[in-house]
Structure 1
Amino acid sequence: MANGRIHHRPGDYQKQGARLLEIDRLVRARGFPSQATLAAHLGVTVRTIQRDFDHLKETLRAPLAYDGHEKGWCYTEESYFLPAVVATEGDVLSLLLVREAVEQYASTPHAEAARAALAKVEAALPGEARVTAAWVEKKVAFTGFPAAEIRPRVWQDLLSALAQSRTLRIRYRKPGVRAAWRKLDPWGLIVSEGDWYVHGYCHRSAAPRTFLLPRIRESEVTAGHFEVPASFDLAAYVRTGFAGLHADGEPEATWRIRFSPEASPAAAERRWHPDQRASRDASGRLTLTIHTSAAFRLLRRVAEWGDGVEEVERVE
């Protein structure tokens, strides 16, 4: 400062969001940058960097600390992420819709944690973004059948077993059947129409099986380790099922479903299967060809259409 005036650098007029992203990147890389180094790198004054640090610590709750040995700044919590950086109105809208969609998964113990995490991101939004938040809260609603709740201990044990490739002991109870213990090597989680399932190798059945999480009464992570078969791919498995699920032990087959002219327009609006093939005849009848190993799930869905379905045929 000379003659009572503050001298600015070109970077001082850049948007703060872009600077915060770069500061976050450099601090996260654990290069222990000083404020002077950051100012030179970004082409701004040290005073501007000081204001950025104040915003990071006070508004965004960044766990910034000065390391006297390294003579620079670092994060004291490696899990911290910068919640910012919503650039457009579309980004804000997407974030808020995700927040509302979390309510569909209220049956999981992590739903509350997801709400809290999204709340932290929203707290960092600029004022104009909160206007968008207000109308989304009033004019967007997600509905569906209430999902059965998953026991917190079961949820935590399952996540631990998945992360560590450990065998899980579960006490599983089907409707009308007494609960029984079995061992499971969990290969992956599947969410289908709001319900959560775990798919893996069942030691009791000596075959892959799928279990509905709310039916697991108790669980225990064992010391046993397993390897997911190299031939198994969760995304491919979900794709060949119906609504992501298979009928255990049922072979894959191709089905052809023909709808009446009256029902065809509505049936065509729905995506029945990722790999479906659709065709129409001269009278407007829709024919779907679907390859799946979950015929009972497909046929149950087809039955909901009643007289709107003229023919169901297994072709392979």
Structure 2
Amino acid sequence: MDQKSLVRIVEMDNLIRNGKYPNCKFLQKHLCVSERTVLRDIDLFKKLFNAPIRYSKSKNGYYYSDLSFVLNDIKLTEGDLLSLLVGQNVLNFYKNTPFYDDLQRSFQKITVLLPDYIQISENNFFDISVDMYDSMMLNKKNIKVFKAILQSLDEKKRLKIEYKDILEDEKVYSVAISPGKVKFYNGEWYLSALNHITGKKVQFNIKRIGTIRKLKETAMDFDVNDDDDQLSMTQEKMIVIAEFSKTISAVIADKFAENAHKVKRLSNGKLEVEFVQTDIHSLYQWLLSFGSHVEIIQPVMLRNRIRKDLIKMLSMY
């Protein structure tokens, strides 16, 4: 099942639950799909979520025979959530295999039932990358951190964490935080939290959290909407222009072929790609993974950052 089907199912649930008695003709027009698609979605709704959908001849529309059924009331266990967190990273391994559709169907069934404090962005740039960065497996330590975060979110408790900041030369610092939500964005999981030292909302890459401890104090409430979220797609976007070597140009061209990026073949055989990116952490790792096969043309700040780290690397060999 694709994500569009899930969106339609959620809308069907809203209409039926609110006593609108939508029929197939109404759903066709309302959802802008064919009759066949509507009937298929209803069938999936019944099979995947055990929805008690019935058709009323007198009302000429669908209704729930069990009024206690609410899609959002289907609870996920802690094990389900952990499976989801790990599964999002593992799923990409099975692309272009016979197993992918079945795995994706199971995964999407869970995502539609996520609690409010977990968010998965649909815009994942690294789905088209050719590096290993987004394929890094979650280890036992990462999963232990996830478990502690999920528990604190559910119980509304504060956390004490040690965090390694990639922008401050891998400096490790300890901080007490109030967790707000976890978010999957560009191939990585992040925790949005309130820093009790600065009083500001901060995004923590969960893989860079070292030790973690749940505190007795109740977490403070703060705005977890994406208005000022550092990872939000509404923030200022960065235009990036990169030139890839002739050696990997064909591979890169294929990866970008179906995406809305500007791709241009240069006279020297290189490939120039212009795209928009908002996640500087992931972008840095992705570009660095290509080594000598890529040159960053802009932005200058990213070009200078990579030059600085390459000089440091050379001094080590």
Q: RCO (CA 8 Å, sep 6+): is it higher in 1 or 2? A: 2
Query: Would you tell me which structure has more helix in proportion to its own residues?
Result: 2
TM-score where L is the length of structure 1: 0.44
> Which structure is larger by alpha-carbon Rg, 1 or 2?
1
